[in-house]
């Protein structure tokens, strides 16, 4: 089958991947209303095309935090990519570099920051959750910095994992990460960024113990003061990922964030929140141009890209 657009990958994935793996990647929270709205909202935005403009030379390059990239499109963080293919994050890193754009590596990747750095040159950001054990956070941030990563994408919309009902049915109430890492075709998958860290006391030392530990250690006390704390342990700029309102955008500016990612976590956290493209204008207006604003969620075609990426 010749792939002509991004959406067609979804049909192929559904055919090739085990059901619980496909459901993990594809599902949203609860009724999945926001999952659909992320896409539908783009369809309600219409072009006002201007004519008789010389378009023989088009320059799509832009800059992000001072880094020049080939187009206004970056790769957002996606966990556990080796569930889909043995190359996982390696392939994504190489592809992003070849395309001249930025990859953001998930904390919950199946390849470590060092392994991704070893694939060759490229501009990379590191997506971070904040854990109860701040020593773990410091270790992750410093490893990313040593590996040449250029920014932290601090995910702030996950005080606990969203209620994704397909996952609940598939896992029969086992911890999500435990189930995912026990899939039959990849028994040795693990959350590679946590290997070698001083995690303190754990109940189990195997992969399932690690995954269960990590999933249960996200700090629900996370607040704006932690954005400022992160700035004391790293020179990397902090992007706040998960902003949907103008009120929070203004606080992010005051807290010293280097940028904002308008995101609803791919509609995987809280259902019945706005599509990201619907929230974008409010957030941009609130920042008053003081920091760059980016967007993820719902983008499926190039006709959306100029609407879905702004600074």
Q: How far apart are CA 123 and CA 162, in angstroms?
A: 30
Residue 262 labeled ligand binder: no
Pairing of β 103-105 and β 238-243: unpaired
Residue 127 labeled ligand binder: yes
Coil vs helix vs strand at 50: coil
Residue 296 labeled ligand binder: yes
Task: Please state whether 17 falls in left (phi above 0), alpha (psi between -120 and 50) or beta.
Answer: beta
Q: How far apart are CA 27 and CA 25, in angstroms?
A: 6
Q: How far apart are CA 255 and CA 135, in angstroms?
A: 22
Residue 221 labeled ligand binder: no
CA dihedral 291, 296, 302, 306 (to 10 degrees): -20
Residue 268 labeled ligand binder: yes
Residue 263 labeled ligand binder: yes
Residue 298 labeled ligand binder: yes
Residue 78 labeled ligand binder: yes
Residue 297 labeled ligand binder: yes
Any idea how long the chain is? 311
Q: Are 125 and 96 in contact (CB under 8 A)?
A: no
Residue 307 labeled ligand binder: no
Is 265 marked active-site?
yes
- DSSP 8-state secondary structure symbol assigned to residue 262: E
User: CA angle at residue 310 from 264 to 222, to 5 degrees?
Assistant: 35
Q: How far apart are CA 277 and CA 263, in angstroms?
A: 9
Hey, which bits of 263-303 come out as E strands?
A: 293-295
Residue 139 labeled ligand binder: no
Residue 129 labeled ligand binder: yes
- Beta pairing partners, 104: 125
Q: Which of 109, 191, 265, 286 is catalytic?
A: 265
Question: Would you list which residues are annotated within the binding site for glyoxylate?
Answer: 24, 129, 164, 263, 265, 268
Question: Would you list which residues are annotated within the binding site for FMN?
Answer: 77-79, 106, 127, 155, 241, 296-300
Question: Would you list which residues are annotated within the binding site?
Answer: 24, 77-79, 106, 127, 129, 155, 164, 241, 263, 265, 268, 296-300
Catalytic residues: 265
């Amino acid at each position: 089958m010749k792939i002509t657009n991004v959406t067609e990958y979804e049909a192929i994935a559904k055919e090739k991947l085990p059901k619980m793996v496909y459901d993990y990647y594809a599902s949203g929270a609860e009724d999945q209303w926001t999952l659909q709205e992320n896409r539908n909202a783009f369809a309600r935005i219409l072009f006002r095309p201007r004519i008789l403009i010389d378009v023989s030379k088009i320059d799509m390059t832009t800059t992000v935090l001072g880094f020049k990239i080939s187009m206004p499109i970056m790769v957002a963080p996606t966990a556990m990519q080796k569930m889909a293919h043995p190359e996982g994050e390696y392939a994504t890193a190489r592809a992003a570099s070849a395309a001249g754009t930025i990859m953001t590596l998930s904390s919950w990747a199946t390849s470590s920051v060092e392994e991704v750095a070893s694939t060759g040159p490229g501009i990379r950001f590191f997506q971070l959750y904040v854990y109860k054990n701040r020593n773990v956070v410091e270790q992750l941030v410093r490893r990313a910095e040593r590996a040449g990563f250029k920014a932290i994408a601090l995910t702030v919309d996950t005080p606990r994992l969203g209620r994704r009902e397909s996952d609940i049915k598939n896992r029969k109430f086992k911890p999500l990460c435990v189930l995912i890492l026990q899939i039959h075709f990849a028994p040795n998958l693990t959350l590679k960024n946590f290997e070698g860290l001083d995690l303190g006391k754990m109940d189990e030392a195997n992969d399932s113990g690690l995954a269960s530990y990590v999933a249960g250690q996200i700090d629900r006390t996370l607040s704006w003061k932690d954005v400022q704390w992160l700035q004391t342990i790293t020179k990397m700029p902090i992007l706040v990922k998960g902003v949907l309102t103008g009120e929070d955008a203004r606080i992010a500016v005051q807290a010293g964030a280097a940028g904002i990612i308008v995101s609803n976590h791919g509609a995987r956290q809280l259902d019945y929140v706005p599509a990201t493209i619907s929230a974008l204008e409010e957030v941009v207006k609130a920042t008053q141009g003081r920091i760059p604003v980016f967007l993820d969620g719902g983008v499926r075609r190039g006709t959306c890209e100029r609407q879905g990426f702004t600074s």
